[in-house]
Amino acid sequence: MELNPYAKNLDGNDPIPVLASTSKRLHTLTTGLTYAQLTTPPAPGKWSITNIVTHLADTELVFSFRLRQTLAPALDQPHHIIQPFDQDAWAQRYAVYPLEPALALFDAIRNWNLLFLATVSDDDRHRPATHPERGTMTLWTIVETMAGHDLNHLQQLERLAQIGL
């Protein structure tokens, strides 16, 4: 498995402007869409627009924890061991989440994470963490993964909003 499967989306660009602009882009892409457009999956087994935003809120929670744990590993560990999660298992419950609370949660946690990232030093950027499936990475790899992940899902949302789903 790749260390950062979303690196190609970021294409070597600074992740912070991407992270700072995602909330606004989510609101722009979802404003004015009908309930059916927001909640209808484009195909069986695919996520609706609301499901994608809910996933982004969920992963922002996960990334928030990973960032902080990377800079504060347990005393008995040389560095943090990242806990993977099964996004499909989490997604089984997405039908209960309306768009507005998902957007609000994403906005709040993303703003909190941006404040946190403003405190990160150059040394902090190089702090290691190990993902059991992807290997050892740095805090900054996690930040780049966040931004690439945003871009991946923003592209999906753009396509879905464009075709009216």
Q: pLDDT of 55-75, one tens digit each?
A: 999 999 999 999 999 998 777
Domain range for 83 is 7-162
* Predicted TM-score of the model (pTM): 0.94
Number of structural domains found in the chain: 1
In a domain, 131, yes or no: yes
In a domain, 65, yes or no: yes
In a domain, 2, yes or no: no
User: Is residue 114 within 8 Å of residue 63, measured between CB atoms?
Assistant: no
In a domain, 1, yes or no: no
Q: What is the mean pLDDT of the chain?
A: 94
64, exposed or middle or buried, with CB in 10 Å at 0-12, 13-18, 19+? middle
| 3-42 confidence digits (pLDDT tens) | 888 999 999 999 999 999 999 999 999 999 999 999 999 9
Q: Strand 135-138 vs strand 80-81: parallel, antiparallel, or unpaired?
A: unpaired
Residue with tokens 């396509």, as numbered in its chain:
159
Residue 164 pLDDT: 63
CATH number, residue 19: 1.20.120.450
User: What 3-state DSSP class applies to 142?
Assistant: helix
User: Is residue 57 within 8 Å of residue 111, measured between CB atoms?
Assistant: no
- Per DSSP, 43 falls in state S
Residue 15 pLDDT: 98
